[in-house]
């Protein structure tokens, strides 16, 4: 039971690696996954996205510890369980992040991970519905589209028009030259079906004789010979096994589980491991630290015209949508319904966007049930460059015990003050003439929430995770005491062990993290195989030339009174 490479986790990164490392046929690869098959109508149908996330079959169902700066609330932290990992349960939103976000990685010590270095791997991964250009890929494994491309619902365009009226740019492709502004949103949906990394990367690779996939595997720890990772101890079908790797062990279990596996293996902060009666093998205090995430709230309004999706939330309507999707893979079943969006800067002096909007033409809860009687719409919004940092640490040496997760949301005072700007800027945008025809009363936060104190209190009661945890195995320079992996994603001080997933992000990008996770795995596959990196891109990114002195291009036609 010896393989060249053993990959721990068949999620957004692990499926990419399984494909790329077996392409040549030279290497024998084992992919281990705790969950099972992703073959389910609720996984494959984009509009059914709330079902797999609510299922214990597909979701680990983690919760944070009581968050001390958010009224001691425990915040849910869904993580994918099964082939495709979180790419099989997420909202399918495809956002690469601003070029400045990726350049932060290189500047922080992750040399070779600038935007110019990474853009070619974004392109290699993708088949974009509009075809290849300087920014988008045309023949990659991952299909990316605009869902129904805003057809059939005027609210999508009204939101974009309102943003332009409020003085912001309109962008035709936020994953291209210009992220900043209002425009159509992209999603990992291809042919009307969820494009998880299982569907895009793993299914084609499973036909190869040099790839073995084991599901229902609970990884205990990595086994070492001296300071070299040599194998994996696991539980499978009630039996304990040890499997060996000739070349490398690659952790792709995600920002929660990858640091937990390392800690159970004796790698981490020595004092933390000793307290859990784990023999320390290598002191790396950064493991589990640097945890980052995005928070969001739902801004909801009544809709004065009967054009929202609230009329489609009944049982009969859902049945009709489902039948059409089953027969033709078209209609409302073939989209996540987030088809317009925005990325804006919260203030002058900020170089690139730090607030993100997802627009939804319905007033509903995440489980798909309506929030109101009648029609409504909502926009999901939150600041995306938090300064607060949390941590993940195991609660025991047992692999089936959930780790302790503390995000420390809102610990940094700047993370509190930017929320006030976020609420007021959103109200100003939604008050523009383009929304007059549709905008009814504000459902939440509600017109009575106005002062700083009222906004702060409402945020603490209502804020939720946007489900983007990352950073817990930070990539950085060898002399960075907080770094866990180097710029080749090797665990510092250990041979034969790498981490390839969102845990290696030094900082969280301004946007959903599935796209950059896939990019990291694409780039890592070349590094692991010793290939020359793809040629760096020379494509430029738009940045407001007057960003130092203005927050947007021009003043809005209409401002809301405060």
Rounded Cα distance between 470 and 390, Å, is 10
Say how many C-beta atoms besides its own lie within 10 A of residue 107's C-beta: 14
Token pair belonging to 157: 């365009």
Rounded Cα distance between 226 and 283, Å, is 14
411 found inside a domain:
no
Count of domains for the chain: 1
Say how many C-beta atoms besides its own lie within 10 A of residue 537's C-beta: 19
pTM of the model: 0.98
Please state the separation of Cα 557 from the chain's center in Å: 35
pLDDT at 561: 45
User: What is the per-residue pLDDT across 56-67, written as a single tens digit (0 to 9) for each?
Assistant: 999 999 999 999
The kind and range of the H/E element at 223 are strand 217-225
Residue 233 vs residues 192, 244, 254, 463: alpha-carbon distances, Å? 40, 9, 18, 39
Written in H, E and C, the secondary structure of 464-482 is EECCCCECCCCECCCCCCC
pLDDT at 559: 62
Written in H, E and C, the secondary structure of 364-389 is ECCCCCECCCCCEEEEEEEECCCCCC
User: What percentage of the chain has pLDDT greater than the value 70?
Assistant: 99
**CATH number of residue 276's parent domain:** 3.50.50.60
Cis before 445? omega within 30: yes
Rounded Cα distance between 346 and 344, Å, is 6
**SS3 label, residue 143:** strand
Say how many C-beta atoms besides its own lie within 10 A of residue 93's C-beta: 21
pLDDT at 369: 78
Query: Is 252:258 a contact under the CB 8 Å cutoff?
Result: yes
**Residue 327 CB contacts under 8 Å (≥ 6 apart), including other chains:** none
User: What is the per-residue pLDDT across 202-252, written as a single tens digit (0 to 9) for each?
Assistant: 999 999 999 999 999 999 999 999 999 999 999 999 999 999 999 999 999
Tell me whether residue 302 is one of the annotated catalytic residues: no
60 found inside a domain:
yes
Residue 465 has, within 13 A of its CA and on its CB side, a CA count of 24
**Residue 373 CB contacts under 8 Å (≥ 6 apart), including other chains:** none
Rounded Cα distance between 183 and 176, Å, is 12
**Residue 248 CB contacts under 8 Å (≥ 6 apart), including other chains:** 4, 5, 6, 229, 496, 497, 498, 528
In terms of Cβ atoms closer than 10 Å to its own Cβ (0-12, 13-18, 19+), residue 205 is buried
222 found inside a domain:
yes
238 found inside a domain:
yes
Q: How big is the CA angle at 35 (ends 38 and 513), to the nearest 5 degrees?
A: 70
Rounded Cα distance between 413 and 420, Å, is 12
Query: Is 73:67 a contact under the CB 8 Å cutoff?
Result: yes
User: What is the per-residue pLDDT across 82-123, written as a single tens digit (0 to 9) for each?
Assistant: 999 999 999 999 999 999 999 999 999 999 999 999 999 999
Query: Is 217:240 a contact under the CB 8 Å cutoff?
Result: no
Rounded Cα distance between 194 and 476, Å, is 34
Bridge partner list, 360 = 378
Rounded Cα distance between 10 and 35, Å, is 9
300 found inside a domain:
no
Biggest distance spanned by C-alpha atoms of the chain: 69
Token pair belonging to 19: 């494909």
User: Which sign, positive or negative, has the C-alpha torsion 454, 456, 461, 466?
Assistant: positive
**For the chain (length 562 residues), average pLDDT per consecutive 10?**
96 99 98 98 97 96 98 98 98 98 98 98 98 98 98 96 98 98 98 98 98 98 97 97 98 98 98 96 98 97 97 93 98 98 98 98 84 94 98 97 98 98 98 98 97 98 98 96 98 98 98 98 98 98 98 80 42
DSSP state for residue 33 in the 8-state scheme: -
Bridge partner list, 193 = 190
**DSSP state string for 502-525:** GGG-SS--SS-SHHHHHHHHHHHH
136 found inside a domain:
no
Token pair belonging to 5: 């490479």
59 found inside a domain:
yes
Query: Is 441:447 a contact under the CB 8 Å cutoff?
Result: yes
DSSP state for residue 201 in the 8-state scheme: I
First to last CA, the chain: 67
Candidates 13, 521, 562; CA nearest to 253 is 13
Rounded Cα distance between 416 and 460, Å, is 9
217-225 and 228-236 strand pairing? antiparallel
23 found inside a domain:
yes
Task: Kindly name the residue from 186, 282, 380, 468 that is annotated as catalytic.
Answer: 468
**SS3 label, residue 257:** helix
Candidates 255, 247, 290; CA nearest to 12 is 255
Token pair belonging to 499: 């981490």
Structural domain containing residue 506: 1-91+192-293+469-522
In terms of Cβ atoms closer than 10 Å to its own Cβ (0-12, 13-18, 19+), residue 451 is exposed
Bridge partner list, 239 = 236
pLDDT at 562: 38
340-344 and 355-360 strand pairing? antiparallel
Say how many C-beta atoms besides its own lie within 10 A of residue 530's C-beta: 6
């Amino acid at each position: 039971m010896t393989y060249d490479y053993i990959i721990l986790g068949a999620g957004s990164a692990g499926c990419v690696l399984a494909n790329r490392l077996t392409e040549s046929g030279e290497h024998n690869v084992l992919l281990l996954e705790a969950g099972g098959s992703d073959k389910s109508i609720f996984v494959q149908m984009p509009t059914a996205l709330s079902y797999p996330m609510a299922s214990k079959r597909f979701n680990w169902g983690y919760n944070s510890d009581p968050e001390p700066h958010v009224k001691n609330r425990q915040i849910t932290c869904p993580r994918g369980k099964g082939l495709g990992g979180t790419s099989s349960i997420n909202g399918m939103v495809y956002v690469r992040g601003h070029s400045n976000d990726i350049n932060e990685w290189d500047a922080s010590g992750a040399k070779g991970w600038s935007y110019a270095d990474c853009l070619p791997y974004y392109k290699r991964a993708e088949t974009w519905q509009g075809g290849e250009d300087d920014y988008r890929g045309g023949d990659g494994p991952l299909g990316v589209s605009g869902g129904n491309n805003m057809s059939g619902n005027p609210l999508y365009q009204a939101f974009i028009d309102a943003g332009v009226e409020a003085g912001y740019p309109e962008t035709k492709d936020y994953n291209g030259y210009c992220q900043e502004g209002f425009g159509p949103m992209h999603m990992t949906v291809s042919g009307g079906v969820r494009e998880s990394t299982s569907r895009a990367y793993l299914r084609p690779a499973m036909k190869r004789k040099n790839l073995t996939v084991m599901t229902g595997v609970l990884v205990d720890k990595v086994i070492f010979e001296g300071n070299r990772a040599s194998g994996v101890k696991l539980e499978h079908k009630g039996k304990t096994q040890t499997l060996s790797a000739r070349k490398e062990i690659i952790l792709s279990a995600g920002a929660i589980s990858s640091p937990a596996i390392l800690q159970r293996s004796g790698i981490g902060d020595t004092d933390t491991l000793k307290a859990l009666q784990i023999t320390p093998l290598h002191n790396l205090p950064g493991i589990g630290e640097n945890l980052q995430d995005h928070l969001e709230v739902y801004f909801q309004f009544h809709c004065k015209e009967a054009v929202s999706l609230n009329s489609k939330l009944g049982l009969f309507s859902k049945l009709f949508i489902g039948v059409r999707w089953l027969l033709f893979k078209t209609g409302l079943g073939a989209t996540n319904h987030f088809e317009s969006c925005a990325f804006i800067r919260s203030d002058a002096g900020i170089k690139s966007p730090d607030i993100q909007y997802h627009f939804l033409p319905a007033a509903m809860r995440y489980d798909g049930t309506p929030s109101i009687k009648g029609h409504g719409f909502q926009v999901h919004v939150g600041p995306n460059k938090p300064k607060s940092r949390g941590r993940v640490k195991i609660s025991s040496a047992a692999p089936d015990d959930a780790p302790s997760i503390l995000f420390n949301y809102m610990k940094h005072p700047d993370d509190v003050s930017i929320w006030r700007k976020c609420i007021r800027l959103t109200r100003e945008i939604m008050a523009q003439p383009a929304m007059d025809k549709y905008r009814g009363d504000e459902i939440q936060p509600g017109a009575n929430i106005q002062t700083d104190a009222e906004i702060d209190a409402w945020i603490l009661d209502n804020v939720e995770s946007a489900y983007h945890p990352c950073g817990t195995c930070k990539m950085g320079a060898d002399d960075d005491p907080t770094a866990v992996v180097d710029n080749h994603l090797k665990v510092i001080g250990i041979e034969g062990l790498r981490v390839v997933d969102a845990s290696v992000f030094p900082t969280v990008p301004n946007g959903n993290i599935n796209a950059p996770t896939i990019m990291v795995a694409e780039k890592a596959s070349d590094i692991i195989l010793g290939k020359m990196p793809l040629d760096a891109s020379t494509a430029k990114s738009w940045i407001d030339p007057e960003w130092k002195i203005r927050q947007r291009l021009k003043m809005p036609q209409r401002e809301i009174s405060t």
